[in-house]
Each structure stands twice: as C-alpha cells, then as structure tokens.
Structure 1
Amino acid sequence: MNGPILSEQVAEETGMSRRAFLQGAGFLLGFSLTGASTSSVFAAPTSQVVEDEVTGTFAPNGFIRINPTGAVTLVMPMVEMGQGVYTSLSMLLAEELEVKLDKIQVQHAPPNHALYVNSIIGIQNTGGSASVRAFWTPLRQAGAVGRNLLIAAAAKRWNVDPATCRAKDGIVFDASGAKHLSYGELATAAAKLPVPPAANVKLKEPKDFTLIGTRARRVDSSIKVDGRALYGIDTRLPGMKVAAVAISPVLGGKAKAVDEKAALAVKGVRQVVNIDEAVAVVADHMGAAKKGLEAAAITWDDGPNGKISNADIVKQLEEASKKPGAVARNDGDAEDALAAATQRVDAIYQVPFLAHAAMEPMNCTVHQQNDRCDIWVGTQAPTITQSLVAELTGLPKEAIKIHNHLIGGGFGRRLEADGTVLAVKIAKHVDGPVKVIWSREEDIQHDMYRPYYLDRLSAGLDAAGKPVAWTHRIAGSSVMARYYPPYVKDGLDPDAVEAAAEPPYALPNIRVDFVRVEPPGVRTSWWRGVGPTHNVFVVESFIDELAHAAKQDPVTYRKGLLGHNPRALAVLSLAAEKAGWASPLPARHGRGISVQFAYGSYTSQVAEVEVAADGSVKVKRIVCALDCGMYVNPDTIEAQVQGGTLFGLTAALHGSITFKDGRVEQSNFDNYLPMRIDEAPVVETHLIKNAEAPGGVGEAPTAIVSAAVTNAIFAATGKRVRCLPIDTNSLKSSS
C-alpha cells in the first residue's frame, strides 16, 4: 500500500516522469503500475473494458485496475482525511475481488461525477458520513465483476465451466485445486471478455464475509508514522515559489494601501500580488514571504461590513425567530395540544459560529499556463473545485488538472474551494508554479463557519409527564441553499432540520419549522455535520428538561418515548448499562445521556462529569453505544467515535467564533482553544452488530456529545446549559 501513494505523489511533485521514478525507486518497483500512464489508469468508463495495448491492464470498471504483474489498484472515489476511508473502501473491494487487503494500492480518483459520484450526496465529494454508505454496493459490485471475469478467463484457458472454479487471495483455482493462475497472469485475457452488468453479478452473503467486519489494520498507517505521507502542503515542484497571503479582515473589504517597495526589499521576495480582497507576497521560501508580508504594512478598506458584531447577529436571529418559518414537520395540532397541556415548558437555545481549525491550514499550489491549469491540493470536492477554476480561468474543465492529496483534517472545510480560487487568482500573476499557504491566523479568521443558530422550543406535558405537544423553531443560516440549491424546497433546508424534524421519540403533536437568517459579513459552511451538530444538542437537552419537569429519571423517561423505535431504545439501554447509570456518584459529579438518529446511524452517549466549585468542568468518561448497521472495520469505527467525540467536546467546552467591527476576534490556538490532552476523557465504544444497511459514523459522535455533557452538568449542579460553549462562571458553587 505504501508504494503507490508515495510513488504517485513524488513523481508528480518532482517533475520526474512516473516511469523514471519507478525505475529508480528500488523497493517501490513492485508496487508500480508498470508501463501504465496515469491517464490510462484514470480513463475507464464503467460501461466498458479498457484494455491497455502495452500492458494488458484489466479495468472492468471505474474502480479496479489489475496489470500483468498482479498489482491491484483501487481508484479511490473518496478522499482520505484521517477517517480511515482508504482502509474501509479497500476492504469492500478486496472482499468481493478475493484479494488480501495489503495487495491493494490506492490512487486518488480524478474529478468525474459519472464514475465517482457519492450517491448519498449526489456529486463527487467526501462528506456527510456517507463514504461507506454510498459505496457499500458499488465497490462490492466492482470487485465481484472483476472476480467473475478473472475466473471466466481462467476457465476459458482450461476449457472448464467457470462454476467449477474459485478465487482466493488473487489466484484462480480449478475444481481439483491442482491448476491455478494468478490474477496477473489472467489480466490480459480478462480484459478481452465482455463485462456483465454489475447488477447481474451475485454478491457474497454477509455470513460468507472473511474481511468485512474484521479488525483490519489501516493501510495508510506506516507512511503517516514514518513521514512518507504527502499532504497538499508538502507539494514541491521545480521552480516553485511560495506565497504568504493576507486576506481582508472584514468580508467584502479590500486593500487600501500596500508598501510594495518595503516588501520587495526583503531578501528572497520576488513580487507582490494585490487582488483587492487579498494581498500575496511571493518569495523563494516561506520565511521570506512572511517577512515580506509584514513589511508590506497593509491597510484595509473595511467596506460595508466593518461595524458588524456578534450582538448584531444574535439580535437579528432573535427577531427572525419570532416569526413562522418553512415547515419541516406538522403532525397533529401542536398549538391546541400545548394550550390544553397540564404543564408547559419553554426554552431558547443558542449555539455559536465554529471554525474548523484543521491541523493542516489551507493551502494550494497552482501552475497557471495559457492552455492548462494544474492544481495540487487536498480537496473533498474535486469536481466543484474543477468547475470553479474552469469558470475563473476560462479554460475547459479537461484542462484543469486536480492533483488531489491526503488531507490533514477536512471536517467539511475542504468541501469549499475558496482557498483554491484565491490561489488561482494569485497564480495568474506568477510565472511558474506557486504554493499559497495560509497562516494559522488567516485560516481561523477567514474560515467558513458552522452557522450560529437560535432555537425556540415549547412542550406540553400531560398529568403523567408525557409530552403531548412539541414545537421547535430553528433560526439560522442555510448552507444547503448556497451549496446545493436544488435540495432546498419552499425555503426548507433539509440539513438545517436534520435530527429535529424526525427526533427518535413518540411525539403525537409536533411542529418543526425553519427560518433562514443569513448573517451579514459571515460565510457559513459544513462543519463535521451542520444540522445535527446543533439540533441534537437542543433536542436532547430539552428532552432532559421535560424529564426533570415530569420528575422522572432521564433514561427512564426516554425509554417511555422509544417503544416504537427498537434500535434507538437498544443503544440507549446499552449506553446506560455500560456506564453504570444508576450507580452513585460523589457530590458535584453527574451523568448525562443523549440519543440520536443521524447520518443513518443510531447513537447514544453517556457522559460523566465533575464540576469543581470554581465552575470548571472535567469530563471524566464518555460511553458510546452505536448501531451503524453492518459495519466494515470496528477499529476504524472506534477511532472515529473517539476522534468525533473529542472534536464535539472541544466545541462544547471552548468553541466560539465571535465578531467585533466586522472582524473575527479569535486568531490562533491561544484564543480558539483545542482540547488539551489533560482534558480528554476516556471514550468507550460499544457496537451493536446487525444486518441493517451501513450507516455513517464520522459525524455522529460529534453531534451527540454536547448534550450528554450538559445534561451531566445539570445532574451535577442543577444548572441548565442552554448556550454553548459552556459558561463555567455560571456553574460556580454558591457555598
């Protein structure tokens, strides 16, 4: 696995031909696609076989390449950003193709909606916890088609019925087992056979899986451990310059004055590029570029958004939330039921803007030429990126070459192409390739943020404490309206109401609506999930409020509302059991629970917290029960639960982007705090195995953890947290 990732990227980034690199690569030679060009590897449409006349490469579909050396390549439709997709998707292919996991190489797929569409999302991008869900069937079908054709090629050579032959570990055997041919030996012959429709090929039954469901070691671990893994920021090209960039601190502003002479006086600085909304200093290396940018002493015209503050944005949300919005759900008559209820509970919840702050800051390398534009970047959305660059440059899409990379943290940030567009604008003025790198400050202060939401909820309880009415109004930005406009119907953003319009509980009279409110001077986008990351916090906190109003235990109360929902009930019960829900705790310690259905998976978490007398919160333990249907790799799932939980916990404890005079007040990790290692709790994962279709995992723990923690804080202190991040001053002991 290590060879092809390294060889493909180093060959590109040194300007060396792929063949020349591989010939000189020694131990890497055995992993190469001998004699095959990158273009031929990427060119196969799913409807036909591509036969390389030189190599006899077997390519029955858009995903598989097998050459006469026996090298098996998966053209990876999704991008790896730490979530383990290289491993899980390779497992799907390997299971049906009947090869060992360590025999599969990976190449990034080029931009191609037709071949590599994420069917959950509708375009080729990596997000929405959708990779396994989207490719569960296509990749298994691709492997099964390939296996059947290889078996058919062997059977034809032996003049026997293909049904009497079998494949195992990249070898086809006859009925006796005495005759055998490797996939490499069969590649050329298999490439000449007609390809059957994927839907006509029988897939394995789950009981016959030998790889799916097992704990497989990640295929990209070694190159990340020893430093061979290459990310977008690692790009090096002959003659490449490096640019440091300053972007207008206020959205819509532009540079008013730039001291180009002072910048050019810095040794190593080659030019200053002013594109109004940003200024770039281009130099031989990053040190000179940064010094030159500082010397440029840029002053800015703030434009129309120079007075925007957080208070303005919250006031706008408060006013808008008083009016009805687009209806997401309206069952029964919530208003009448609320008026007739024995007890009424009302609450307003708020969650802040959040930055992504990925380990790898935004960066992009561009070589703009008259007839083509080459881009080296880590992107979750290659086709969108390609289209935007084509529009900007006037070049046809086929002239825009995206050299995609491993991503050092995406979280939705790299679903956006703004960083690439900015780099292309700069590259237009630079002779040769230029790598544009954002500082950490630029990365945080010019992010596209998880929206600020303000939610109004009311519920009515009967004499037994059961909810008979539920209303939930969500006010906030619509990312979907900008990113996927066709998905928004009659003003309703389906993502903004996910996990709110369909809570897991039995609620006989329920009304949920959405009020779109776009904050001035702020760009919003995806953030390891959007709708569920705020809706689950709100819904699960409010359910806890109802349990308290009904004077019932939070777990018992939820169980009474989940009789119709066995999978949700199962994760709730498992999490409570594993956490020792009923066991006693010391003073100012508490447990809180939350339940969700989102991204196609059922999840429940129990948080155990300690709240000190000074209000500081220590999350000591998180217990997670997860039903994601039929799972691929338990190790990857557990890692995702741990990482996603800590990501969401970081936001709950610390995360908040605020605005003053149009500017983001946070700038680096000193004031936009990541969770420190001493804050990290133990995270336990308990999986429920079943035969249901696979669900998503990466974003589920991020969405659910906040409510579990704030409910635990209430159990410890009696103080309800309705706004994030957690205000520790409000939790101080009065004694």
Structure 2
Amino acid sequence: MLPHIDYHDLPRSLQRLMARPAADEPAALPRRSFLKIVGASGFALGTFPHLALAQAGGAAPAAGGLKPTQQPLAFVQIAPNGEVMVTINRLEFGQGVQTGLPMILAEELDADWALVRSRSGTNDAAYADPFFGMHLTGGSNTIKNSFVQYRELGARARAMLLSAAAARWKVDPSTLRTQAGTVLGPGGRKASYGELAEAAMALPVPEKVVLKDPRDFRIIGRPTQRLDAAAKSSGRQDFGIDVKHPGQLTAVVAHPPVFGARLASVDDSAARAVKGVKAVVRIPLDRGAEGVAVVADGYWPAKLGRDALKLQWDTAAVEKVDSDKQLAQYRELAGRPGNRKFDADMAPLASAPRKLEAEFVFPYLAHAPMEPLNCTVKLSDGRAELWVGTQSADLDGFAAARALKLEPAQVKVNVQMAGGGFGRRFVSTSDFVVEACEIAKATRAAGLDVPVRLLWSREDDVKGGYYRPMHLHRARIGFDERGRILAWDHVIVGQSITAGTVFAGAMVKDGIDATAVEGMRDPYPLPMRLTVHHPQLNVPVLWWRSVGSTHTAFVMETLIDEIARST
C-alpha cells in the first residue's frame, strides 16, 4: 500500500494555508479560490536557474532581500545573439501562458519581441506561484498572480543591463535608454543585450524598480502570434509523451477491474515471451490497489505484453459500485434531511401560485485529455529526475520523493508541455506520478538501470482514472405570475472531491464540500434552502474543468429559463 501523506509532511506554505482559521475563509470557495490551497552559452543572463532552490527551505532570502520568485537570474537568459529565453512558472496545456508570461516580462525588459523564446520551469522554488507560495497552474490565476512578478523581473533585468552599459561607457545610467533589445547612450553609442549579458549577470539585482506606465506598452495589449503556434501547427512541438532518453523503456500497467482491488495471482510467462518485453513487475497503486507493469522497448510491445498477462484479482474487500443502485441510493438520500448550505424559509412554497419540480442527473465524466497521462523517471544513486506535464510540480515532486524514499531536494521535476488536462494533472495523491516512480524503482531493482516512461492508454484513463462525480439535483420552486421566486428548495447529492484529502480542512465546512455547491444561487439573490449529501463510494473523484459549475450552473440557468418561459 502506498504511504499516507501526512499533513505535517506537506510544504510549509501549504501547511500554513491549510491552518488558516475558518474566520479568515470566505463562505464559499469556488475552484478559483480553492486552487489557492491547493542561450547558447555560459554568458547568458540567468545561467543559474537553480540558485533559488539553494535559498529555499526557510533560509535567508536571496541577495538584496529578494525572494527566489523575484530573481531574474532564474527566469531570463540572454544569448550573445540577443535571443531572450523566458522561463515560465506554470504548466502550458493550451491556455497560452507560454506566450502571455514572456510578453509581460519582455515588455518591461524592452526586448525585441521577435527574439523572445520561452520554456517551462521545474519544481525549483523560484517557479512557485508568488501569491500562493506553491507550484500551481489552475483557477485561471497565472496572469492575475504573476503579472506584477513578471513585470518586475523584466524591469530588474533591464536595470542590470543599463548598469552594465553605464560601467562600460563610464556614464551615469540615467543618461541611457533601451529600445527593442538595445541599450542606447550619449553620442550615438549602442550595445545589444547580447553584448552586455555577461557583465550584467555579475551585477547586484536591484530590489526596487520603476515599472512602465501602461500607456507606454508596446507588447502587452498588442496582437501577436503565440510562441508555440508554429511548432504545434507543424507537428514539431514536443509534449511529455515525447520525452526520449538513451536506453529509455516504456511501461504500461494492468490496473484492477475494481478500484482498490489487489492481486490474487499473476502468470506473466506469456507476457515475458513477447518480443521487446524487458521486465514484468508487480507494483502498489493508488488507493491501496495493486497492479502489474510491463516494461518494454516501446509502447506496442508493452501493450502486447500486458494483454498476455493472466491475472486473478481479489475484489472481496472492495465495494463494487452499481450505477442503477447508486442512482436509487441518491434519490433516497435526496428525500432525507441533510447538511444545509442555505436555509431560507420554505413556508411560501406551499401557497405559491405556481410551482416547478425538477430532477437532474449528471454522470461520472473522465477528463480524457488529448495527450494521455505519462511520466518519465530517471533514477540515479540518491537522486531522481522526472519529466511530466504537471499542474503542481512541487506536490508531485514531494510525492515522488516519498515513493522513492528520497528527500524532496533530491527530486527534480521538469515540467513538460501538456496536451490538455482539465484538472487531471493536479491530483492530491499524484497517482500516476507515484505509479511511474514505483515502476522505475522496481525496474531498477530488476537490473535495468535506465529511464522508464509510464504511458496510460486512452482506455486506461477512461476506465481507471479519476472522475467528475456523479450528481443528482432535485428542486422544488414556488413563484408567482410575474416570475418572482418565493421559495426554492434544492438538494444536491454527490461525492465530495476533497473529503479525505489534505484539502478537506479548508474546503469542507459543516459537512459540505465548497466545490460541490459553487454557483448555487449565483448570481441570483434567491430565497433558497440548499441541502447537501456527500455519500462515500468506491469511485475516485476529482475536479473537472470548472468543477461544481459544470453541473450547478446548468441546473440554475435551466430552471431560471423554465420559470421565465412559464410567466
């Protein structure tokens, strides 16, 4: 069974967030609030992107009193030819931050936009969200939380370049200006950023900088092509699934047919006989389950090997959820008293001139991102390196360290471009990342000291992943001839996505998961009584895109429309 993640083992920033008193928390935490918790040469400016990591862990701030997230050395590299490489502190999986963040930094840097490039970061402390103090891509918070950060990073780098030029020309920096990647001085002097980068890198980082007046923006707010558009439209863009190292093997896993089931017997003789199969290993899986990984020199032989496995599963100790029985259970629960989110007076319901009753049932939904789940792990003595499209590099790095019995500082997570995610790449259990680490560990123990790429198939994700919970809504509404709502009695039945996780302390209040009720009564000031039931079932659940609003907004708007049409 996988080790339990103890609250006190979490990163300190997350512990502090979880420990906030209830009085400091809003009454409802929708997903956007919830996710708060949760160059070509050595002369380039920013040759030391891991400087910040050495300053993490509660040590003194970096030089000048700046935090790692404020140090331009971790974010900006300028090559001798003037190319500017900007490291982004988020996962790019279609939303455009790989262009948006470099635009912000390049604006204050006064860079030549035609020479700006971008790349993904790591689990280095520098790349944590500056507002939340942890690595996080979610809730549409990237630009909101890093707008000032990236402006200041660009401004600091620009100030260092100006200082380097002033020292070269022996003039006051105030006599200099910049334009599109060039420092301009008195008497027609000019120097490109590429020429100045080495000297600029050696200078102190200014703590205070003056930012541009937005009226002077020449990059922000102007139409431009995405930096990744050409690669993606031509098929040259690499994603996590494309990671390739010398000697690398690919693993696929036989997951149990029932969540949490364990193996009774394994016959892997036919699997081992498949050409290309290098190892077959038994591994612990998410939620206390077991599985068998087939490791081969490519996906197809690994899949054929998995197909050849003869496995007997022990499902006696795990619940087998039945859809029809589950719906009947939900309907029965909807008629019972439960926890109340809103508790308006329902007396007017009985005498209301018009009434509306409705029931909505929402099924489980898989995330099914275009790029299937994957993670590549390379182990060496006392260290591990991962390549994965992750929405939270430090949480996944921490989970990997637990699985591999390493310290978090011994695990490097290289964030990869991801082909979609919709929330699936931010899981409190880090399920598929831990799975990849267990496979790499078992493969190495079997004598194969090579990188291993775990790859889920589309079927694996749909049949054995995490899901948006099934929900049942039941509403009884009383209103008058003018459509004025007099009383709205509403019940929601569905699993909590945060109960039993490290996020429960912040997200579950009075027995109600805030993610399940977000959007209810919004934006309408309705007299509503909202009752919530959170049954526990043996199906793993997770946020799914807009989380609660995927069902609550549909219900609210549909019922409002029905009332409007009937008056």
Q: TM-score, normalised by structure 1?
A: 0.63
* Equivalent-residue separation in structure 1 for 2:223 and 2:308 (angstroms): 54
Cα offset, 1:217, TM superposition? 0.4
Pairing 1:312-711 to 2, within 5 Å after superposition: 312-329=325-342, 333-339=344-350, 341-416=352-427, 417-430=430-443, 431-432=448-449, 433-481=451-499, 482=501, 484-488=503-507, 489-501=509-521, 503-507=522-526, 509-518=527-536, 520-550=537-567
Q: Kindly report the root-mean-square deviation, in angstroms, between the aligned alpha carbons of the 2 structures.
A: 2.9
Q: Counterpart in 1 of 2:103?
A: 91
* Equivalent-residue separation in structure 1 for 2:175 and 2:45 (angstroms): 36
- The one-letter code of the counterpart of 1:494 is A
Give the count of matched residue pairs. 504
* 3-state SS in 1 of match to 2:412: strand
* Equivalent-residue separation in structure 2 for 1:543 and 1:222 (angstroms): 44
> Retained in 2: the 8 A contact 1:275–1:425?
yes
Q: Deviations over 1:126-173 (max 9, x none)?
A: 122222222222112222232233334434555555445332211222
* 3-state SS in 2 of match to 1:105: strand
Q: 1:103 aligns with which of 104, 107, 115?
A: 115
* Equivalent-residue separation in structure 2 for 1:267 and 1:217 (angstroms): 46
> Retained in 1: the 8 A contact 2:518–2:549?
yes
* Equivalent-residue separation in structure 1 for 2:388 and 2:107 (angstroms): 31
Cα offset, 1:78, TM superposition? 0.6
Residues 1:177 and 1:539: Cα distance change in structure 2 (over 3 Å): farther
Cα offset, 1:347, TM superposition? 2.1
Residues 1:363 and 1:370: Cα distance change in structure 2 (over 3 Å): same
Residues 1:194 and 1:244: Cα distance change in structure 2 (over 3 Å): closer
* Equivalent-residue separation in structure 2 for 1:119 and 1:336 (angstroms): 49
Cα offset, 1:228, TM superposition? 2.9
Cα offset, 1:64, TM superposition? 2.7
Q: Deviations over 1:398-423 (max 9, x none)?
A: 11121221112211111132111112
Q: Does 1:238 align with 2:246?
A: yes
* Equivalent-residue separation in structure 2 for 1:295 and 1:535 (angstroms): 44
- The one-letter code of the counterpart of 1:504 is P
* 3-state SS in 2 of match to 1:151: helix
> Retained in 2: the 8 A contact 1:258–1:299?
yes
Q: 2:309 aligns with which of 285, 293, 296?
A: 296
Q: 1:195 aligns with which of 205, 220, 223?
A: 205
Cα offset, 1:340, TM superposition? 5.4
Cα offset, 1:449, TM superposition? 0.5
* Equivalent-residue separation in structure 2 for 1:102 and 1:491 (angstroms): 53
Cα offset, 1:300, TM superposition? 2.0
Q: Counterpart in 2 of 1:221?
A: 229
* 3-state SS in 2 of match to 1:211: coil
> Retained in 1: the 8 A contact 2:46–2:75?
no
> Retained in 2: the 8 A contact 1:121–1:128?
no
Give the stretch that moved more between structures: 336-345 or 92-101. Answer: 336-345
Q: Counterpart in 2 of 1:66?
A: 78
Cα offset, 1:525, TM superposition? 0.9
Q: Deviations over 1:605-650 (max 9, x none)?
A: xxxxxxxxxxxxxxxxxxxxxxxxxxxxxxxxxxxxxxxxxxxxxx
- The one-letter code of the counterpart of 1:469 is A
Residues 1:270 and 1:152: Cα distance change in structure 2 (over 3 Å): closer
* 3-state SS in 2 of match to 1:41: coil
Cα offset, 1:86, TM superposition? 0.4
Q: 2:266 aligns with which of 258, 261, 285?
A: 258
* Equivalent-residue separation in structure 2 for 1:328 and 1:201 (angstroms): 47
* Equivalent-residue separation in structure 2 for 1:38 and 1:93 (angstroms): 14
* Equivalent-residue separation in structure 1 for 2:487 and 2:153 (angstroms): 49
* 3-state SS in 2 of match to 1:350: strand
* 3-state SS in 1 of match to 2:425: helix
* 3-state SS in 2 of match to 1:144: helix
Cα offset, 1:39, TM superposition? 8.0
Q: Counterpart in 1 of 2:29?
A: none
* Equivalent-residue separation in structure 1 for 2:219 and 2:144 (angstroms): 17
> Retained in 2: the 8 A contact 1:99–1:169?
yes
> Retained in 1: the 8 A contact 2:45–2:197?
no
Q: Does 1:132 align with 2:152?
A: no
> Retained in 1: the 8 A contact 2:45–2:78?
no
**Structure 1 gap ranges (5+):** 1-30, 51-57, 551-735
Cα offset, 1:246, TM superposition? 1.0
> Retained in 1: the 8 A contact 2:43–2:197?
no
* Equivalent-residue separation in structure 1 for 2:361 and 2:105 (angstroms): 44
Q: TM-score, normalised by structure 2?
A: 0.81
Cα offset, 1:38, TM superposition? 9.7
* Equivalent-residue separation in structure 2 for 1:480 and 1:165 (angstroms): 54
Q: Counterpart in 1 of 2:193?
A: 183
Q: Does 1:76 align with 2:91?
A: no
* Equivalent-residue separation in structure 1 for 2:339 and 2:497 (angstroms): 15
* Equivalent-residue separation in structure 2 for 1:37 and 1:67 (angstroms): 8
Give the stretch that moved more between structures: 479-488 or 278-287. Answer: 479-488
* 3-state SS in 1 of match to 2:87: strand
Q: Deviations over 1:333-376 (max 9, x none)?
A: 44244455433323222211111112221222223344122222
Q: Which has the higher contact order (CA 8 A, sep 6+)?
A: 2
Residues 1:506 and 1:37: Cα distance change in structure 2 (over 3 Å): closer
**Structure 2 gap ranges (5+):** 1-38, 65-69, 285-289
Residues 1:177 and 1:455: Cα distance change in structure 2 (over 3 Å): farther
Cα offset, 1:528, TM superposition? 1.6
- The one-letter code of the counterpart of 2:101 is L
* Equivalent-residue separation in structure 2 for 1:302 and 1:543 (angstroms): 45
> Retained in 1: the 8 A contact 2:349–2:487?
yes
- The one-letter code of the counterpart of 2:457 is S
* Equivalent-residue separation in structure 1 for 2:487 and 2:187 (angstroms): 68
Pairing 1:306-317 to 2, within 5 Å after superposition: 307-317=320-330
Q: Counterpart in 2 of 1:212?
A: 220
Q: Deviations over 1:567-605 (max 9, x none)?
A: xxxxxxxxxxxxxxxxxxxxxxxxxxxxxxxxxxxxxxx
> Retained in 2: the 8 A contact 1:60–1:191?
no
* Equivalent-residue separation in structure 1 for 2:557 and 2:329 (angstroms): 25
> Retained in 1: the 8 A contact 2:367–2:544?
yes
* Equivalent-residue separation in structure 2 for 1:241 and 1:308 (angstroms): 35
